Amino acid sequence: MNKRIFLILFAIICIVLTMPAEAKTWYVDDDGGADFTDIQTAVNSASSGDTIYVYAGDYLGFNVNKPYITIIGEGADLVTVGPTSQIRLPDIGNATGTDLEGMKLMSDLYLSTYGPAPDCTIKNCILVNSISTAFGRYYSASNLTFEGNLVNGSGSINMYGLSSKSKILNNHFTDLSNTYSAIYFRQDANFCTFSNNVLENSTATNMLTVYNVPGCTITNNTFRNNTGVALRLYKNTVTNTTITHNIFSRNGGGIKFDSAGDNNKIYLNDFIENTAQIILLGTAPTTTIWSSPDQIPYTFNSTTYTGYMGNYWSDYNGTDNNNNGIGDDPYVLPDSLGADNYPLMQPFENYFGGSGPVAPVSAFTASPISGDAPLTVNFTDESTGSPTTWEWDFGDGANSTEQSPVHTYSTEGTYSVNLTVTNEDGSDSELKTDYITVTQAGQVATNDLTISGIVNTVPASAVFAREANPVKVLNVKNTGDETLSNISIAVYASDVSSGTVPVDTTTIASLAGDATTTVTLIDPTIRDLEGGTVTYTAVVDPDNLIAETDETNNNKSSSAKPLRYNGYKGKGIYWEGGSNITTMHTFDLQGNLLYSTQPDSAYQPVGWESRTETWTASDLPVPDDSTIEKVLLYVAYNWDQTPGGYPWLNIDFNGYILDNGNISTGNGTLYRDWSNFGAYADYEYGLCVYDVTDKFSSAGNSLVMTPVGENKNALYPSTLVVVYGNDNETRKQIFINEECDELGLSASSYGTTPEEATAYAPFTGMSIDVEKVTNAMLYSFAGSAGPDEGNLLFNGNIVATNAWQGSSNSGSPLAFDATNYINATGNEAGVQSTTSGGMDALQQILVIEYEESAPAAPVADFTATPTSGDAPLAVNFTDTSTGSPTSWFWDFGDGANSTEQNPSHTYSAAGSYTVNLTVENDAGSDFELKSSYIEVSEASGSTVTLYFDPESSSVSENESTEINLVASNFPAGLAGYNLTVALDDPAVAEIVDIEYPSWALITENSTLPGTSIYMKTVDLEDSVKEGAADVVLATLTVSGKEKGSANLSIGVKRLEDDSGDSIEPALLAGTIEVTLLSPLPGQEYAPRDLDGDGLYEDLTGNGEFSFVDIVAYFHNMDWIEENMPVEYFDFNGNGRIDFDDVVDMFAMI
């Protein structure tokens, strides 16, 4: 079109369009002479509300990163975008309201994959060249309109979960060949509309799949002449779908229920000559509605009726005795899918005079279709949709306008026949290629076709679930002298229509006499679950169109092939119930992650006897003043053939037995994978993950492994991963993903393409503030990876090729800087195999680092439980302050205080108490005062409480401390008691001595030492009088055994007052902590905590606190800081050892 004329026309259009007054129109022409020569530059210059007009030409893909941009091409036949680049709406940013019109799109289209793009329109475009589209995968693409487009090729249209309420309208889909489904409504793409579309002449396995999506509407569409299934309802969340006024004609299947859900409404549709009208896979839904929910007025044979209406079924053979257009008998659906109780006698469009698509659908048969010349053939019209004219082309130059003509072929040959039918609403044609074969009268066949080789799958050992399968027919042979042409070959699968309907056909253009050729066909059947076998049968010249000397030797079958999942492919896609490499741990902290993998020399082949791996302090250099958040041990193995499928191992980490036996029932988290077919079908790969946080030592670590019983596995080098917090480091977000996914690339050996031999690792659980990220590192661990093996993918892009540089014995990671590829959410890594040697994708770790922020003063806050109750009331206080305080000071309101972060305190008297917490760090301080926060009432039940004094004690290993067992009061005196005391962890501490009070003249107790004892005595001299308070019943000597904490509990067998009545006391528990402390230099004993407050004031360990201990502290400050837990000697509570601690100790004296 002349550009001047077109500018005038386009200006008129722009006047009509409603847009803001400031909106501008930009012009693009790849030949020059306009504002820009490429679309991307125009988009970059445009503002929201602007329109970009694109003249005829070829353009690269583009990204739209701002809202409400309209891009209009001069025409879909004139403007081409692609095919070597992508279209992203957006790439980053927001592409809300983008409008694309009038272009041929040959680039993959990603709408809302990398940012939000709701309310977009794609209209009057051509989508070709096998492109893929993804709508609403990670961000909103709701209310999308996809209208008036022409789509063909092997790509797919994917409506993901964030594209709800979208509309696909008035499009023409043709020649679609996707292996899985040409169009998807995927998980949670709810309430979408698919209407007034034509889908025809395609080989896709499924034309439209509704996958885990409720509430969609599918109406007024025509599905015709497709070899696959027209509509697939997949998974039990596909519910409340409305399917009406559609034509399903001559497809491989009409509707497939694939474990679909309930209450799908299917009525007023035409099901015409589909290979299978309805198909069931998996479990049948409980309820499917096959008729209109309400009675509908309609006209049949010029008479008006009102009634319920079902669907038209071309294979329905029931009667209509009352001539109301509704069959007398139900149409029974297969496989417990119910029945259509109101089947239509004619196509639905004949009942309404134009409600829904009413153009005719051409169809015909002929008899005979082969024979000697002259051959008279009877043609029968079987078209639907009430055509009014018929045009026959018999392929020999003759034609006819009769509805069902008779024609005689006088000359030998092969003829194609076409029938075009028309009515006032449109037309349709049916072409049958090489349909009629006419031979010369008396002709003697001199050739023969046979299959001299075998029929086999590729690879030969299995048929794979969840994908299409190639079938190779070796050595199709022409045994005669003459060249044969147009030789048809069909392949049948034993589990598809019982092997009676071909799953694929092809044609050999010509084959010379005594020549052979090999043909590969594709079985597009998707078998979701493994199990059973499939046998393929190939048939040459299945319709006997070629005269042969022997018509009985044209077929050959494969052996029965097991149906298996392909373990060399990504298990998250190709195994039912399989998992991607999934996020198992996330951290958001100031700190970092360290890892250390043992060298390749640590690999142990099958038959190994023992292995010791060590990590020195320099392997995992945790900075001083760090807090260990998590330590994970990764033990990977391969070539496992242990009976039962799991290794039996003894695994010892730093002297702790992690497992001793079958690791599937042990203490680790186990992931496995195996090829599942071929020579190594059951050789298993595995990854076992152990949490060794409490067993890790910053000074060094060791791992000792030995087999238990039969040893039939090999070991990869092990890896330790440490996550630590440290206030001196920048903020990090850490994602740790775990799985084991064996990968192998070889079409002939493993049946894999690079895309299939890919394991995916989606990082989930946290959003990333992309603008503040300074660094993002991906650590991609893989076994047997390298050298020069494997591609690394990140967010859909191949970012490194032949990247791993390990060996067959390695388990180390590829470190990749992903900073430039990070999105806020939806980040996904991929490990892709590149050689037939194979690799084992293991843990994947993503570490996001943020810019350093200025330290903030803390903000004080706290909670307590309980906040009310009877005296004595034990209250647990919890610090919830923000801003990383380093010191805490609690004022409990009753004269007591604490410097612990989360203290416990007992209120002994009734009253209302105000609590104040003051917190501090280097940036400042803050306090939180809660008035009348704790309400303590007089005891309403028991007036006696038994408790430990001190409530919490600490003692060094192999040292002892004294704990009093005390009664709060005895209102009626005490006659005697029989009590028990128990420690809940015998490994931590034990009771070694009991000292009774002087009034206890007769005593009895358990044998000592012990961890659960009883004590029994009587007050013979009536020493404990009525109203006695804070009565010490016994003094226990408790000895520490090993580092840890144990709880002390009290039990009452008998407790009686001076009248012989039983006392029912309240019982309070206590705790004792055993620490690993050593004597100070020059001292004989380890420091002791004399009062149980967690501070070890007795530095000399001689059992008393005096000025000597202050002197010992003063002389050993540096030694204490380097060798002791700082919190045990931090008397001023500031988190460090300093002279002020000496001052505070002196004040204590």
Taking the model in full, what pTM does it have? 0.47
**What would the pLDDT profile of 1089-1108 be if each residue is shown by its tens digit?**
888 777 889 989 888 999 99
pLDDT in the model for residue 833:
95
d(CA 381, CA 379): 7
Do 418 and 461 have their domain in common? no
Domain end, chosen from 118, 141, 164, is at 141
Q: How confident is the model at residue 10 (pLDDT cuts 50, 70, 90)?
A: very low
953-975 pLDDT per residue, tens:
888 887 888 999 999 999 999 99
pLDDT digits (tens, 9 = 90+) for 183-212: 888 766 777 889 999 999 899 899 999 988
Same domain, 591 and 717: yes
Q: Nearest-CA neighbor of 898 among 917, 885, 880?
A: 917
What backbone torsions phi and psi does residue 1127 show, to the nearest 5 degrees? -65, -20
Structure confidence at residue 8 (pLDDT): 37
Which pLDDT does position 137 carry in this prediction? 58
Whether residues 377 and 459 share a domain: the answer is no
pLDDT 10s digits, 909-934 = 889 999 999 999 988 999 999 999 99
Residue 1108 sits in the same domain as residue 1144: yes
Is pLDDT above 60 for 1122?
yes
Do 379 and 420 sit in the same domain of this protein?
yes
Residue pair 1091/952 in contact (Cβ under 8 Å)? The answer is: no
DSSP, residue by residue, 1111-1123: HHHHHTHHHHHHH
Do residues 966 and 1111 both lie within one domain? no
Domain at 1061, CATH number: 2.60.40.680
Spatial neighbors of 442 by CB under 8 A, at least 6 apart, are 372
Give the Cα separation of 98 and 119 in Å (integer).
Answer: 7
d(CA 6, CA 9): 5
- Domain stop point among 141, 160, 189: 141
Q: Strand, coil or helix: what is 349? A: helix
Residues 918 and 975 in one domain: no
Assigned domain for 159 exists: no
Within a domain: 162 = no
Predicted confidence band of residue 871 (pLDDT cuts 50, 70, 90)? confident
Q: Which residue in 1032, 1073, 1069, 1034 sits closest to 1048, CA to CA?
A: 1069
Between the CA of residue 1087 and those of 59, 552, 990, 1080, 1105, what are the distances in Å? 80, 100, 19, 8, 10
Q: Residue 345: which region, alpha, beta or left (left: phi > 0; alpha: psi -120 to 50)?
A: alpha
Task: Please indicate, yes or no, if residue 129 is contained in any of the structural domains.
Answer: yes
**Would you say 194 and 209 are in contact if contact means Cβ atoms under 8 Å apart?**
no
Return the closest-CA partner of residue 79 out of 108, 102, 62: 102
CATH code for position 906: 2.60.40.10
Q: Is residue 794 part of a domain?
A: yes
pLDDT for 346 beyond 70: yes
Domain boundary among 792, 815, 850: 850
Residue 991 shares a structural domain with residue 1039: yes
Q: What is the mean pLDDT of residues 609-631?
A: 96
Q: Is the per-residue pLDDT at 941 higher than 70?
A: no
Q: Which domain holds residue 1144?
A: 1094-1149
Can you tell me the distance from the alpha carbon of 1090 to that of 1097, in angstroms, rounded to the nearest whole number?
7
Res 480 pLDDT > 80:
yes
Looking at the structure, do residues 914 and 1015 belong to the same domain, yes or no?
Answer: no
Q: Is residue 318 part of a domain?
A: no
In a domain, 321, yes or no: no
pLDDT at 21: 42
Q: What beta strand segments (E) does 118-192 contain?
A: 121-123, 126-127, 132-135, 145-147, 150-153, 156-159, 167-169, 172-176, 183-185
Do 540 and 579 sit in the same domain of this protein? Answer: no
Q: What percent of the chain has pLDDT over 70?
A: 95
**930 within a domain of the structure (yes/no):** yes
CB 587 within 8 A of CB 628: no
Read off the pLDDT of residues 253-293 as tens digits, 9 standing for 90 and up. 999 999 899 999 999 999 999 999 999 988 899 999 999 98
Residue 435 within a domain:
yes
Mean pLDDT of 487-509: 92
What's the number of domains the chain is made of?
7
Residue 699 and residue 618 share a domain = yes
Same domain, 776 and 669: yes
